[in-house]
Amino acid sequence: MMCLRKFLVAMGSGNSFLHRDDDDVLGTEYDSSQGVLKTIPNEVKPRPRLGGGVRSVRSISKQQKNGSLRSALSVDMENPEVEKIRKDFEMYRLSKENELTNIRKKEQKLETENRRLRAELQAKEKTCQKQKEERDSALEAEHRAQMRAAAIEHDRDKIQHLFKIFRETKESELRNLLKAKQTLESKLAKLGGSAFEDPETTSRLETSGAFGNHGDWWATLDSEPSVGSLTHHHRSTYHGPEFLQPSIVDPDGLYVNINKDDWIAATATLANGYLMIPESVPSNRFVVYLTGTPDTQQELDLLCSKYSNQLRHTCNMEGHLFTLISMPGVIDEDFAFSQEKHVQARCREIDQCHVSVIFIGTQSSRFVEMDVNYGTLRCCSYKKTIVCFKDTAHGQDVSEFCELRSRLTEEGKAKVLNYSEVEDGVDLVFQEIVPYLKHISDKKEKGGLVYQGVNLEEPLLDWGTAVWDNLHDFEQLEAFRSACQSTCELGFERYYERLNAHILAAGPLPPLLICGAAGSGKSLLLAKWMELQLYRMNSGSLLLYHFVGAPSSCTADPMLMIHRLTSQLMQQVNAIASLACDNSLLMEEFPKWLEKVSSRMPGGIILVIDSADRFQKVETHLKWLVDPLPVDLRVIVSARHDQIPAAWKSWPSVVLEGMNSARNVKDLLQAELSSQGTLLSEEHEDRILTHCLASPSCSPLYLILMTSFVTRCYNDRSLDSNLDLLLSTSDTTHLYQAIISHIIDECRSSSVADLIQGILLAVYASRNGVSEAELFGAFSELTAVVWSTLRLLLTDFLVLTLRSGLLVFAHEQAREAVAEMFLNECDREEKLKKIYRRLYEHHSSCTRFSEVTCRTADELPWICQQLEDNTGLELCLTNLSIFVKLFVRGRCFELVTYWQNLGADKIKISQSYMSAAKKLEDHCNSESVTLTSVADIYEAIGRFIMNHCTLSEALNPLQRSLELRETSLDPDHPVIARSLHFLALLHERQSKLTTAEPLYKQALEIYEDSLGKDHLLVIKQLDALVLLYKKLGKNSLAEPLQKRSISVKKKLKGHLMTTMNIKATETLQKKVLELDDLTIGPPSVELARTINEIGVLHYLQGNFGLSESLLIRSLEMRSAILKEDHPDLAQSLNNLAALYNDRKLYDKAAPLYERALEIRQKLFPVEHVGVTSIIKNLGILYKKTGQLDKAEPLYQKMVESKEKSFGACHPAVATAIVNMAVLYSQMGNHSAAEPLYERALKIYEETLDPYHPRVSETMVNMALLKYEQGDFQTAAKLYRRATEIKDNESVSNGKGISPPSMSIEASATLPRVTNDDDKQIDL
């Protein structure tokens, strides 16, 4: 049974061979742990029926019942089928075992890989979680930092706001003190009597005095040294030479702490301030004052008739207005005004003229004698006086004229000419005037403003006359200076705070609107506030402004303002691009330029527009004000409260309240009276105050006009009656009417009264004003004698004023008063047309090509439009000289507007200009016009048509311009390249890109050959080609050209910046060099002071040779006229010694320092700054030259002076002690140096901090001392301690890097810590 059981276990039971589904199943017992079922296909024969031939096992067992089991089984096992099955099974089993083995191996491998990946996943999850935590902590830290930054910024803004309020309050107090000082001085001058004063000069002095001395920022300061200045190895601060002390208390003057580097750094700031607020605005007027004795009237008439037109033409060529004022030597008894007014008028003319010509014969004249004396007295660098003496028939002169000639010759203040014949004298005068005229023109051109708005592209060629004030920069500056002339600020301090708050507020912000009634002081408020902003010059802001004049003037054209401001913005970033010609394109670019430049300025841009309600089409052209402004742009706009556009009413506003209190009225009245040196009685003052308070329309302008009138009528007996007349007026317009009526009543002639009316109407009817020459041309009955007195009255009573050489109304209310007085509704049109006809006749007489001026181009088309003369307007527009004058100044939009008023289409405009150009070309010889000028005109016409008309019509003028230039010029001339450029541009706009490409290339080659590869025009051609290639899709050709263009632009921008700085420095240097004229004269204290100051200025500029000669001359002069111990002598010695010390001429500097120190020690205590400065410089000099024994007592004196000034325990004393210890160390006296180091270290630790950098630096010096003494262990400890302090400082500063500690052996190679050139800081 056991054998059977084993067999069954090994082979399976018989039932295992047959499945219930007739399939063989194996392995259920063989591998029960795995439980894998395997199916083996077997061919089983059909089972026979019971009782058949095949016997069953049971029957066999019955038959062999008595046999053994083995014998029974052996019968079946020997069956071949069973054997086959067994073999198959064995083979199958072995194959499956191999498969299972392989599967188990793969499973183990996969499990190992799974465990590895699971471990990596867990590691990644941990890393991700850690990064999330770090990110959350970083975000939280960033949030906390932002909260802290916001709090700090809020505190900073608050402190800054409080500081500005405090500063403005103190500035206001200072201004009030200065005003009080001026009031007391004027009263004192009035009570004590005063000599003749020029009212314009007085007003200028008062205006400049209100802001203090411009050199106050160079005041002497005694400051503590910086941290780095306390060790041996740092450079000492060298103090430059000194100006003359204003008193014994301040012997060092203003420039004691200014060295050459400070001068260079300050040059840009001074230049900006000078360019933005010059002392005098350049004028385009050239005035010749002509007079003579009665017997020289023939000379006067001949000069006027023979040379006046030539002089006027010469002035026109230079872009200036010429005025000839011929005053007779004798006045008729029936003269329209009093002789007193005539004398004042003559003096005023001499003051404002450039050349005074005086002819003297044999007859005497008190007016001529007065003119000679006054003219020579007022002689200056911009004024020339010519005195012509006529020889008598007998060769003898009148004795008094002989004395006058000798005196003028000796003084040298006038050019003295002698002549015998009338024509000879006139010719001599003309030969003197013309060179001086050109000299003055060149000086004005070179000394003008930087912002001239000149287009950076190559200008057009010969256009006839020059262009003055292309973009009205001078006119705007003059308007700004005129608005600042008031002496009282009307309590503007409360408005300044609001303006400053608007500037400092976070943006973007809408414009701030300043509104008020007419004459309430809006322009004055803005001008005074801008003046304060410009004088501070520390905010880093760019201030732009625009003052609008009459509604019909060019200043009221918003496009002209945008053109001018865009030019200034482009110059701030050294932009190479040119201004757009199209108005719509320019309006799109202007806000972009504002945003671009404001983002680069530290303080942003401040744009001030005064009287914006007078603009033409304000809502159309100024719609950019309604749009969101850039963040760093602040706009301030002023307007009358009754004329504010509807879109502006939502802006934040400041309303000027006007004269609503008795205190304001009284303050303004007293300030104006004090500025004029006039004292009214209490009765008169009470009457004026009562009237102003009772009048609801009283304004500051109303009170200023009344005060001006009262001041000029003060000596008149009819003051009471005139005052009654003024007090009867209710507002400013009626007050102006009363003033004009008073001027007319002063005339003794009805014809002069009619002239006054005509002149005022001419100013009213003009567009931008009228010049004096235009008045003389329009009114033939007007003489220079009458006009000089009229102009005196009209300007003194603030009716008219000169603006850019033109007569305009001083205020808009004067214009309204003239209209109400002389232009009634019934005859208004008739009178205006009469005036227009006078002006038209004058301007139309100067329409030849070489005679047309900018004045004619501005006024003549406008007058034709007012007269509704379409024929005359078309003649003006087709006059190519007028066209050129408007085109070259960027006034194409005016031309287009005029043509639109005529109803002309674009084709007609093009054909009209082409026909006019062809006529000029046909008659170019008779018109004295060259082919080059005609080619320029063709180019201007082509560019105008291309930008404003049809493109197809622009081809003919541009092509003709190129043909004429190729005929008259060299083929490689740059102007030909310009013609090619515009032709290519035209083809490009017509989408003819392949035609434009060779033209651009040819223009580029000509520019490179003639101008060089780094020229501005080469850049423009490169940019044009790059754009063209990109349109053609040729990027491979565009990229190298674009890179080259960028490279050249960088070079050019640097060159432009350097050029601007050089020009600014040259401007200041020219102003300094002009002072050299003051060094001539006999020796005196004042002359020595002047020479010393000029020598110091030359020293600061680096002109050492000239500075040395001037300082030596000042020293010699002071040595001759002053005592040996005078402080001025010590100053000259110190200045010259400082110059030699800077040039390393120590042998010359030492004795001068010693002598200066000896003088000052007698006059001042040792702690005085004048003494300590010399002690310091002399001590350093001795140390440089190795004279340590001489330096020792000086260093000891420095310690004593510091102890007297600050006490025994002060860081400044410790610094002086350290310097003394360093000197002893260099002398080898270590025993004396050690206690000094210890004392200084103790002071530093007690007064500062044990871990202060000064403590560390002192320990380093002590370590060096111990090292030299051989005490290496102590030296190492001290150096290690100093290193720890430095490490703490580095960690606190966020550096986190500390030097390694040094052993004693390493410290043995440590070099001595010394300063440059073996010098140290002394205080």
Looking at per-residue pLDDT, the higher value among 694 and 1220 belongs to 1220
pLDDT at 398: 56
- Is residue 936 pLDDT above 80, yes or no? yes
pLDDT in tens, 727-778: 888 888 888 998 998 888 888 788 888 899 999 999 999 998 999 989 988 8
Q: What is the pLDDT of residue 38?
A: 45
CA 908, 913, 917, 920: dihedral to nearest 10 degrees?
100
Q: What separation in angstroms does the CA of 650 have from each of 611, 721, 1217?
A: 18, 48, 67
If one compares 379 and 1247, the residue with the highest pLDDT of the two is 1247
For residues 460 and 467, what is the distance between their CA atoms, to the nearest angstrom? Answer: 12
Residues 222-277 have pLDDT tens digits of 222 222 332 333 333 333 333 333 322 233 333 343 444 444 444 444 444 434 45
Give the pLDDT score at 514: 92
- Better-predicted residue by pLDDT, 1038 or 410: 1038
Q: Is 1035 exposed, middle or buried (0-12, 13-18, 19+ CB in 10 A)?
A: exposed
* pLDDT, average across residues 511-517: 90
Distance CA 662, CA 674 (A): 18
pLDDT, tens only, 809-832: 988 899 999 999 999 888 888 899
Half-sphere exposure of 261 (CA within 13 A, CB side): 4
Q: Judge contact between 1103 and 1068, C-beta under 8 A.
A: no
Strand duo 512-516 + 653-655: pairing: parallel
At 661-693, the pLDDT tens digits run 677 777 777 777 777 767 777 787 888 888 877
Q: Identify each DSSP E strand in 328-413 by its residue range.
A: 355-360, 384-390
DSSP H helices, 453-607, are 473-483, 493-504, 522-536, 558-572, 583-600
- Confidence bin at 218 (pLDDT 50/70/90): very low
Asked whether residue 19 carries a pLDDT value surpassing 50, the answer given is: no
CA distance 1159 to 1179: 17
Helices (H), 990-1103: 993-1011, 1016-1032, 1035-1073, 1085-1100
pLDDT > 90? residue 563:
no
Across residues 1125-1138, what is the average pLDDT? 88
Q: Is 548 helix (H, G, I), strand (E, B) or coil?
A: coil
Give the pLDDT mean for 412-441.
84
pLDDT of residue 65: 45
First to last CA, the chain: 126
- CA-based R_g, the chain, Å: 49
Average pLDDT over residues 460-479: 59
HEC secondary structure over 1237-1277: HHHHHHHHHHHCCCCCHHHHHHHHHHHHHHHHHCCHHHHHH
pLDDT at 454 over 50: no
Cβ neighbors of 186 (< 8 A, separation 6 or more) are 674, 675, 677
Question: What does DSSP assign to residue 289?
Answer: E
Q: Is the pLDDT of residue 1291 over 70?
A: no
Average pLDDT over residues 890-910: 88
Distance of CA 1233 to the CA centre of its chain: 54
Per-residue pLDDT, averaged over 50-54, amounts to: 43
Task: For residues 857-862, give the mean pLDDT.
Answer: 91
Q: Which of residues 1131 and 1314 earns the better pLDDT score?
A: 1131
The DSSP bridge pattern shows strands 415-419 and 384-390 to be: parallel
Instruction: Name, in order, each residue with C-beta under 8 angstroms of 999's C-beta and a sequence gap of 6 or more.
Output: 980, 981, 983, 984, 987
Cα angle 336-337-342, degrees, rounded to a multiple of 5: 125
Mean pLDDT of 1149-1168: 86
Question: Can you tell me the distance from the alpha carbon of 1259 to that of 1289, in angstroms, rounded to the nearest whole number?
Answer: 15
pLDDT for residue 1212 is more than 50: yes
User: What's the pLDDT tens digit per position in 1027-1055?
Assistant: 999 988 888 888 998 888 888 877 776 65
Q: Give me the pLDDT at residue 673, please.
A: 76
pLDDT band at 399 (very low <50, low <70, confident <90, very high): low
* Mean of pLDDT over the chain: 75
Per-residue pLDDT averaged across 19-41, rounded?
A: 44
Q: What is the mean pLDDT of residues 98-107?
A: 92
- pLDDT for residue 1081: 54
The pTM assigned to this predicted structure is 0.62
Q: Which residues of 182-199 are buried (b: 16+ CB within 10 A; e: fewer)?
A: bbeebeeeeeeeeeeeee
pLDDT at 259: 45
Q: How many residues does the chain have?
A: 1323
- What would the two tokens of residue 274 be? 């000078």
pLDDT at res. 636: 94
Report the DSSP beta bridge partners of residue 803: 806
**pLDDT surpasses 90 at 513:** yes
- Average pLDDT value for residue range 430-453: 61
Match 């015998």 to its residue by tokens: 420
Query: In whole angstroms, what is the distance from residue 1000 CA to residue 1022 CA?
Result: 9
Going by pLDDT thresholds of 50, 70 and 90, the confidence category of residue 718 is low
Task: Show the tokens assigned to 1148.
Answer: 């010359």
pLDDT tens string 116-171? 999 999 999 999 999 998 888 888 888 888 888 888 877 777 787 677 667 666 76
What are the Cα distances from residue 1068, in Å, to 38, 205, 266, 453, 1098? 111, 21, 11, 22, 11
pLDDT value at position 1053?
64
Cis bond upstream, residue 1151 (ω within 30): no
Give the mean model confidence (pLDDT) for residues 1233-1261.
Answer: 83
Task: Tell me the residue type at 895.
Answer: L
Q: Say which DSSP state 419 is in.
A: E
pLDDT above 70 covers a percentage of the chain that reads 74
* Per-residue confidence (pLDDT) for residue 1124, from 0 to 100: 83
Say whether pLDDT at 508 is over 80. Answer: yes
By the 10 Å C-beta count (0-12 exposed, 13-18 middle, 19+ buried), 316 is classed as buried
Q: Binning pLDDT at 50, 70 and 90, where does residue 610 land?
A: very high
Helix (H, G, I), strand (E, B) or coil at 421: coil
Looking at per-residue pLDDT, the higher value among 452 and 343 belongs to 343
On the question of pLDDT at 291 being above 60, the answer is yes
DSSP class of 770: B
**Is residue 241 within 8 Å of 1138, Cβ to Cβ?**
yes
Read off the tokens for 965: 């230039």
The stretch 54-79 carries a mean pLDDT of 47
